[in-house]
Amino acid sequence: MKKVILPVALMIVLLIMAVHLFHRPELPNLNHLQLQQQFSVKPVASVDHTQFEQLQKDFATPQDVTEACIDCHNERHKEVMASSHWNWERISYVEGRGIERMGKQNVINNFCIGTSSNQQSCSKCHIGFGMSNDLFDFNNARNVDCMVCHDHSEAYIKGTSAAGYPDRSVNLSQVAQSVGRPGNINCGACHFSGGGGNNVKHGDLEMALLEADRSVDVHMAANGINMTCVDCHEAENHKMKGTLYSVSSTHVSRLSCDDCHSSTPHNDRMLDVHTGKVACQTCHIPEYAKVNATKMAWRWSEAGHLKDGEPYAIMDSMGREVYLSIKGSFEWATNVEPEYVWFNGHATHYVLGDEVDTIPLQVNRLLGSATDRESKIYPVKVHRGDQIYDPNTKMLIQPKLWSDAKGDSAFWQDLDWHEAATAGMQEVGLPYSGEYAFIPTEMYWPVNHMVSTKDESLSCADCHTRDNGRLAGLNDFYLPGRDRHAGIDILGKLMIFGALLGVVIHAMARFIMAIRHKEIESQDINY
Amino acid sequence: MQKVYIYKQFERFWHWTQAILILFLAMTGFEVHDSIHLFGYENAVVYHRIAAWMLLGLIVFSVFWHITTGEWRQYIPSFSKLSAQIHYYTFGMFKGEPHPTHKTARNKLNPLQAVTYLGFKLVMAPLIVVTGMVYMFYRTIDANDMVVVSEIPLEWIAWLHTFGAYLLLMFVIIHVYMTTTGSTPLTNIKAMLTGYEELEDTEASHSVIKKEDPHEA
């Protein structure tokens, strides 16, 4: 009896110890609950601008509104004028370049290429009035457009190709009296429609976020915590938090999920250790462009075709432009799985005048590698296309695209690449040999929005799997479950099957010999 | 022939717990290696860690037991009859020749077993335990910005750990088969379950006939 009781007792004790040691009851995520509470209380305006006499009048020009703003907020314009929303550039230390002014004046993008020579149209998204060419006065506070960010009437719109001036239909008095903390529509007016339409550029920033549910974005969901852009992108003294590496180069004033959620947000050690090498976005944004399509490719080389002597457009079955004579051909996609890269918060850009050093050319490069301690794996939208280029100077060409009339060298009017290249390069002061070609280009957009619910986030086996995992393309490190040493696996299998085979043969030999022995023995007896 | 108490209580407990843990670790481990699918990747990782800690605990107890009881001496290899033992397994047993060595409570491992188990304890187990622990504590920078292990490339650790796993599996297959080479195919397994085995009457086993080991009480 004792023989049985002791081991059983020991087993039970060990089992209880094991359960006690390893059982982790689901704990409440206190940090998460605190954040939910914090953002449940929505800010209430402390003043009512309709009651200010200074605003109860007809404004002749939008600059008069700005003056009225500055009358009370008499230092704020200085903050705005120090921001990159105003300057369209930032001075930063860029790896391999040194100290550089980089921004929309000299950085190329993979969509409408660049703002130079096209300011009249592009400045629809500049927080100023009157940027019609490269002579804009960045020191004139009267030209700061307060309304575009602070309008709450939803009546304020910028005019098309109006150098940043509001549309003539706008009732400035109504807008001026409505102002307050920027809402999603204020940011979205530009940030949702970059590249010429909703969700064209980012893929994760679009109008659907204005009325999202939790499956689209857990933070901005109207049926969820219903956060606004500026809840995360705080703008203390008009200094916006957050950088996007389509134009930014360094992680100055970068916004990170960690800022609210900490680097150990999971209540699970195994998941928390991933945050050292894997960005939150990688698992929590399994796909982007969840509602409306985003442009994945744009080939300028196909622009310029005519039908019956006229420029034309082709739509796909969803009503999306797939060809425009003035822009070329496009590819769209929804519910896109991101690509993944190592990224350390630093980027370099192709700057006008640089020599093209790779084909395809990356107009921006996200820096980082598996061995770099600062790097984490990030999801990116990679936008591919082609752009006009000078094969003799080996420079990308800044073409003049926009003009309000034909005969002004603008490609969108005359469909003449040579003229557009000549005018554009002259404006930026760079040589143009007279010859042009097209080269493939890529642009990398880190995906940060459209955060999915916990249940829809990636699970372990999405990456930790032998074939076709999310990280199949990121091969500079050992990933358990995906990687193995082929030789060791073959050797191991040989060892196991060899052992099994040896055992079977040995057993059969014993069996046969035993039968023979029996026969001999029985024969012995018979004799 | 006499019934002899040959495997002590702790020894049997240790042996079978270790067997279960090793098989369970193999199942979960090869799921983490994405060779099989049983529990789901996340569960496999968690179970593998828990079983690993249990095995580590068991190893601590067994090392203590082997040292304090002096049982570690069983694993001192004797090479004098090693070739005879190998000859028995490869030729002798087919011809019905007798075992070249005799099992007693004081000398329960034949020379081939002794040298194999010593290899298990000195090579296979340390290989898989050490690589496993480095794997477990491998971090580049953990949540508290503490660099724990980062200078050893993870692939080397993982490769060695995988190799150790294959070695162990091979050992288990041959080991289980060899248990059938007793006087009847189930003799050895029964002995490891009950502790008692019918052994030939030799001087060394007289003192423990049908009695519990006096040391045990």
Beta-carbon contacts of residue A206 (< 8 Å; ≥ 6 apart) = A188, A192, A198, A199, A289, A291, A292, A294
Residue A500: list chain B partners with CB under 8 A: 173
How many Å lie between the alpha carbon of A377 and the closest alpha carbon of chain B? 14
- Averaged pLDDT, A363-391: 94
Per-residue pLDDT at B75: 87
- Averaged pLDDT, A324-328: 96
CA A505, A506, A509, A511 dihedral sign is negative
Phi/psi of residue B116, each to 5°? -70, -45
List, for residues A115-174, the tens digit of each pLDDT value: 999 999 999 999 999 999 989 999 999 999 999 999 999 999 999 999 999 999 999 999
Residue B158: list chain A partners with CB under 8 A: 478, 480, 483-484
| C-alpha to C-alpha distance for A455 and A476, rounded to whole angstroms | 29
List, for residues B129-178, the tens digit of each pLDDT value: 999 998 888 875 554 555 555 677 889 999 999 999 999 999 999 999 99
B177/A485 CB distance under 8 A = no
Residue B166: list chain A partners with CB under 8 A: 488, 491-493, 495-496
- Token pair recorded at residue A294: 């985003």
- Averaged pLDDT, A382-388: 96
Q: Which of B33, B46, B54 sits opposite A481 (nearest CB)?
A: B33
Per-residue pLDDT at A264: 87
**CB atoms inside a 10 Å sphere around CB A291:** 19
Per-residue pLDDT at A497: 96
**Three-class secondary structure of residue A182 per DSSP:** coil
Check: CB of residue A347 under 8 Å from CB of residue A407. Answer: no
- Token pair recorded at residue A498: 């060899």
CA A476 to chain centre: 23
B50/A273 CB distance under 8 A = no
| C-alpha to C-alpha distance for B86 and B38, rounded to whole angstroms | 39
How many Å lie between the alpha carbon of B126 and the closest alpha carbon of chain A? 18
Question: Chain B residues with CB-CB distance to A under 8 A?
Answer: 9, 12-13, 32-34, 40-42, 45-46, 50, 53-54, 89, 93-96, 139-143, 153-155, 158-159, 162-163, 165-167, 169-170, 173-174, 177, 180, 195
Predicted confidence (pLDDT) at residue A212 exceeds the cutoff of 80: yes
Per-residue pLDDT at A132: 93
Predicted confidence (pLDDT) at residue B97 exceeds the cutoff of 90: no
Residue A507: list chain B partners with CB under 8 A: 177, 180
Question: pLDDT category, B209, cuts 50, 70, 90?
Answer: very low
Beta-ladder partners of A332: A295
How many Å lie between the alpha carbon of A107 and the closest alpha carbon of chain B? 35
List, for residues A58-86, the tens digit of each pLDDT value: 999 999 999 999 999 999 999 999 999 99
Phi/psi of residue A55, each to 5°? -100, -10
| C-alpha to C-alpha distance for A508 and A500, rounded to whole angstroms | 12
B94/A513 CB distance under 8 A = yes
Per-residue pLDDT at B146: 54
Per-residue pLDDT at B40: 93
Per-residue pLDDT at B92: 83
Question: For chain B, percent helix, then strand, then coil, each to nearest 5?
Answer: 65, 5, 30
Predicted confidence (pLDDT) at residue B38 exceeds the cutoff of 70: yes
- Share above pLDDT 90 across residues of chain A, in percent, rounded to a whole number: 81
**Three-class secondary structure of residue A381 per DSSP:** strand
Residue to mutate among B65, B147, B177, B196, with most A CBs inside 10 A, is B177
Predicted confidence (pLDDT) at residue B207 exceeds the cutoff of 60: no
How many Å lie between the alpha carbon of B111 and the closest alpha carbon of chain A? 20
Predicted confidence (pLDDT) at residue A183 exceeds the cutoff of 90: yes
DSSP label at residue A278: B
Per DSSP bridges, beta strands A98-103 and A89-94 are antiparallel
Check: CB of residue B112 under 8 Å from CB of residue B89. Answer: yes
A482/B155 CB distance under 8 A = no
B46/A270 CB distance under 8 A = yes
- Averaged pLDDT, A49-64: 95
For B14, the enclosing helix (H) or strand (E) is helix B9-32
How many Å lie between the alpha carbon of A258 and the closest alpha carbon of chain B? 11
Q: Which segments within A85-150 are labelled E, that is strand?
A: 89-94, 98-103
Give the residue on A whose Cα is nearest the Cα of B194. A3
Q: Which of A485, A506, A509 sits opposite B159 (nearest CB)?
A: A485
Per-residue pLDDT at B171: 94
How many Å lie between the alpha carbon of A215 and the closest alpha carbon of chain B? 23
For A142, the enclosing helix (H) or strand (E) is none
Q: Name the burial class of residue B59, with classes exposed (0-12), middle (13-18) and buried (19+) by CB atoms within 10 angstroms of its CB.
A: middle
Per-residue pLDDT at B214: 43
- Alpha-carbon radius of gyration of chain A: 32
Check: CB of residue A159 under 8 Å from CB of residue A168. Answer: yes
B170/A495 CB distance under 8 A = yes
Q: Which of B142, B159, B167 sits opposite A273 (nearest CB)?
A: B142
Per-residue pLDDT at B87: 87
- Token pair recorded at residue A506: 């040995």
Residue to mutate among A17, A273, A377, with most B CBs inside 10 A, is A273
Question: pLDDT category, A1, cuts 50, 70, 90?
Answer: low
B143/A273 CB distance under 8 A = yes
Q: Which of B33, B46, B142 sits opposite A484 (nearest CB)?
A: B33
Predicted confidence (pLDDT) at residue B206 exceeds the cutoff of 50: no
- Averaged pLDDT, B182-191: 87
List, for residues A427-466, the tens digit of each pLDDT value: 999 999 999 999 999 999 999 999 999 999 999 999 999 9
- Share above pLDDT 90 across residues of chain B, in percent, rounded to a whole number: 46
Per-position DSSP letters for B135-166, written without gaps between them: HHT-BSS-TTS---B-SS-HHHHHHHHHHHHH
Give the least confident one: A31-40, A164-173, A268-277, B97-106: B97-106
Q: Name the burial class of residue A18, with classes exposed (0-12), middle (13-18) and buried (19+) by CB atoms within 10 angstroms of its CB.
A: middle
How many Å lie between the alpha carbon of B56 and the closest alpha carbon of chain A? 12
Per-residue pLDDT at B150: 64
Residue to mutate among A14, A283, A372, A457, with most B CBs inside 10 A, is A14
List, for residues B40-63, the tens digit of each pLDDT value: 999 999 999 999 999 999 999 999
How many Å lie between the alpha carbon of A18 and the closest alpha carbon of chain B? 8
Question: pLDDT category, B216, cuts 50, 70, 90?
Answer: very low
Q: Which of B34, B95, B143 sits opposite A481 (nearest CB)?
A: B34
AA identity, residue A242: G
Q: Which of B93, B155, B173 sits opposite A503 (nearest CB)?
A: B173
The verdict on whether omega for the bond into residue A360 sits within 30 degrees of 0, i.e. cis, is yes
Per-residue pLDDT at A518: 78
Residue to mutate among B146, B155, B156, B216, with most A CBs inside 10 A, is B155
List, for residues A471-507, the tens digit of each pLDDT value: 999 999 999 999 999 999 999 999 999 999 999 999 9
3-state secondary structure string across B78-107:
CCCCHHHHHHHHHCHHHHCCCCCCCCCCCC
Question: For chain A, percent helix, then strand, then coil, each to nearest 5?
Answer: 35, 15, 50
Q: Name the burial class of residue A363, with classes exposed (0-12), middle (13-18) and buried (19+) by CB atoms within 10 angstroms of its CB.
A: buried
- Please choose, from the candidates B124, B159, B28, the residue with its C-alpha nearest in 3D space to the C-alpha of residue A484: B159
At which residue do the structure tokens 């001026």 appear? A176
Give the residue on B whose Cα is nearest the Cα of A467. B34
Per-residue pLDDT at B147: 54
Alpha carbon distances (Å) from A386 to A246, A302, A443, A445: 17, 9, 11, 17
A488/B159 CB distance under 8 A = yes
- Please choose, from the candidates A491, A505, A438, A504, the residue with its C-alpha nearest in 3D space to the C-alpha of residue A113: A438
How many Å lie between the alpha carbon of B50 and the closest alpha carbon of chain A? 7
| C-alpha to C-alpha distance for B66 and B72, rounded to whole angstroms | 5
A18/B54 CB distance under 8 A = yes
Predicted confidence (pLDDT) at residue A101 exceeds the cutoff of 60: yes
A503/B42 CB distance under 8 A = no
